Amino acid sequence: MLFVTYVKLGNLRCFAHWLENEGLTEEYTAKGVKMAKLDENPRIVREEDIKLALRYLRKQSRREKDFFSIRDRTIILFLAGTGLRASEMCRLDWQDIDYSSGLIRPRQESSALYRCLTA
């Protein structure tokens, strides 16, 4: 949401500059508009939040015994255990997993580069 606000404020300031340059306004009308600061720190999930989610999904899978609660619990365990990003997990293929050595080689999005993780 913050990124959308950042882009919209940038567009507003750009439009105000255009209005001034074209002579449609006498002065720069977005003088007081300050750009929103984007948080550059990565979002890290706290251990207690992981435990809460796992506890909830464990209870749900015992009650309902459905595919989705078991799948969701497995995904959270996998991500927390390997340190993979969700996008990296979604791009995994079977050949990226080396069962004999216990290594996972996720590909980076924009290239054929790999990094190795222990499973």
- Check: pTM over 0.75? Answer yes or no: no
Task: State the Rg of the chain over Cα.
Answer: 23
| Segment 71-95 mean pLDDT | 87
What is the arrangement of strands in the sheet containing 117-118, beginning at the earlier edge strand?
97-98, 103-104, 117-118
End-to-end CA distance of the chain: 34
**According to the model, what pLDDT value does residue 48 have?**
92
Share of the chain above pLDDT 90, in %: 6
Hey, what are 109's tokens? 């999005």
> For the chain, which residues make up each domain, given as ranges?
1-41, 44-83, 84-119
92's CB contacts (< 8 A; 6+ apart) are 84, 104, 106
Hey, what are 33's tokens? 């508009």
